[in-house]
Amino acid sequence: MELGSRRTHTTMPSKLRSSRLLLISLLLLFVYSTILLLRRPTPPNPVSPPPCDLFSGRWVLHPETPKPLYDETCPFHRNAWNCLRNKRENMDTINSWRWAPDSCGLSRIDPTRFLETMRDRNVGFVGDSLNENFVVSLLCVLRAADPSAVKWKKKKAWRGGYFPKFNVTVAYHRSVLLAKYKSQPRPSGEEADGDGGVKGTYYRVDVDVPADEWINVTSFYDVLVFNSGHWWGYDKFPKETPLVFYRKGKPIHPPLDIMQGFEVVLQHMVSYIQRQVPAKTLKFWRLQSPRHFYGGDWNQNGSCLLDKPLAQDQLDLWFDPRNNGVNKEARRINQIIKNELQTTEIKLLDLTHLSEYRADAHPAIWLGKQDAVAIWGQDCMHWCLPGVPDTWVDILAELILSNSKTE
């Protein structure tokens, strides 16, 4: 009995040891597996592709390109830009060139989709006549989706349209300097104190006061496109009738030249937009539209009777400020604008480069009036419609629709 009892006592610890060894083995296996899992290289997070740069690319000739979305019968046309009605040569070829961004595609605007996305909202343009050129293109394109559209000139708009099917307004407010300015004759006998010795008529510019044409209407718009630059030259304001800059109601000392004045006005207008335009408003600043005068400026018999776009290696010859050509101001002004906007929420609409190629697409001598060229010279600044601004519309629509997806 004692012997049997001893066997029982020696068997139980043996089973206990086996259970412990099994438990320890399982624990070690778990720890080892966990270590292997932790040491396994983690796949990198997928990197989002960079946003497409719609502004860099090339023009490609596509003779099979569908016809423009409007013709000479669009009621929003401005006569001097209605190149179909004015029988401008090569209009089929002008509209057969398609802008092809380097890294992605650019679709032609779908007017119905755009207006549906913008339903019950409004798009405003503020600036000079190149923004008017832009808005006329947009109005005519959108009318393809709502032929019942009517002209709209409320809220001090210079030109606009209302699309009742979608309850959308698109309008342009003319404000060539953005800041308030007015002609101001000097009373005879008054000393020219603080205005650079100006005598006779001059233009007072209040650098810190937005022009009346747009100061009180920005809250009406859900998208705003600003521009300024084409009037900031001595051809518009010669020394005989110069710009004189005021701040807080008093002349600025020492007096500013025209480019210094542009920089100061830009600073104040951008600051105003940042402070006063609602944060929900999508804001763009369109950079300069290049001119294509060849052989002289607009008032020196400059011409643009070209039949195809410029080649890439010609662009610097035409537009680099270092070459001091008649079209040099676009890039120079653009740099000032870029510097001022780089820390703001205002998006750059950089349509300059793609437009630099298109020396072939201006109204030139086809202006719709018999004596227009003799009086004003060729128009190598504005664009034929339909034409290059339709590509601007495609890009703007793409950016607006992309933004609406992220809201």
Q: What CATH number did the domain enclosing 84 receive?
A: 3.40.50.1110
Tens-place pLDDT, residues 190-207: 444 445 556 679 999 999
Per-residue confidence (pLDDT) for residue 7, from 0 to 100: 42
Per-residue confidence (pLDDT) for residue 34, from 0 to 100: 53
Q: Is residue 347 part of a domain?
A: yes
Q: Is residue 353 part of a domain?
A: yes
| pLDDT above 60 (res 348) | yes
Q: What's the average model confidence in pLDDT over 229-235?
A: 91
Per-residue confidence (pLDDT) for residue 45, from 0 to 100: 39
How does residue 54 score in pLDDT terms, banded at 50, 70 and 90? very high
Q: What's the average model confidence in pLDDT over 223-244?
A: 94
| pLDDT above 70 (res 78) | yes
Q: Extract long-range pairs of 243-247: CB within 8 Å, 24+ residues apart.
A: 243/181, 243/202, 243/203, 243/205, 244/184, 244/195, 244/196, 244/198, 244/202, 244/203, 244/204, 244/205, 245/205, 245/207, 246/204, 246/205, 246/206, 246/207, 247/206, 247/207, 247/208
Mean residue pLDDT across the chain: 89
Q: Is residue 34 part of a domain?
A: no
Range of the domain at 66: 62-187+200-404
| pLDDT above 60 (res 372) | yes
The pTM assigned to this predicted structure is 0.86
Q: What's the average model confidence in pLDDT over 124-136?
A: 98
Per-range mean pLDDT, top range of 19-28, 242-251, 325-334 = 242-251
How far is residue 91's CA from residue 375's CA, in Å, rounded to a whole number?
A: 24
| pLDDT above 50 (res 407) | yes
- Three-state SS across the chain? CHHHHHHHHHHHHHHHHHHHHHHHHHHHHHHHHHHHHHHCCCCCCCCCCCCCCCCCEEEEECCCCCCCCCCCCCCCCCHHHECCCCCCCCHHHHCCEEEEECCCCCCCCCHHHHHHHCCCCEEEEEECHHHHHHHHHHHHHHCCCCCCCEECCCCCCCEEEEECCCCEEEEEEECCCCEEEEEEECCCCCCCCCCCCCCCEEEEEEEEEECCCCCCCHHHCCEEEECCCCCCCCCCCCCCCCEEEEECCEECCCCCCHHHHHHHHHHHHHHHHHHHCCCCCEEEEECCCCCCCECCCCCCCCECCCCCCCCHHHHHHHHCHHHCCCCCHHHHHHHHHHHHHCCCCCEEECCHHHHHCCCCCCCECCCCCCCHHHHHCCECCCCCECCHHHHHHHHHHHHHHHHHHHC
Q: What's the average model confidence in pLDDT over 69-95?
A: 98
Q: Is residue 22 part of a domain?
A: no
Q: What's the average model confidence in pLDDT over 295-303?
A: 85
Per-residue confidence (pLDDT) for residue 406, from 0 to 100: 72
Q: Is residue 126 part of a domain?
A: yes
| pLDDT above 50 (res 116) | yes
Q: Is residue 8 part of a domain?
A: no
| pLDDT above 60 (res 50) | no
Is the model more confident about 17 or about 161? 161
In the chain, the percentage of residues whose pLDDT exceeds 70 is 84
Per-residue confidence (pLDDT) for residue 65, from 0 to 100: 86
* 343: Cβ contacts below 8 Å, ≥ 6 apart: none
Q: Is residue 277 part of a domain?
A: yes
Q: How many domains does the chain have?
A: 1
Q: Is residue 40 part of a domain?
A: no
| pLDDT above 50 (res 251) | yes
| pLDDT above 60 (res 189) | no
Q: What is the largest CA-CA distance in the chain?
A: 142
| pLDDT above 80 (res 57) | yes
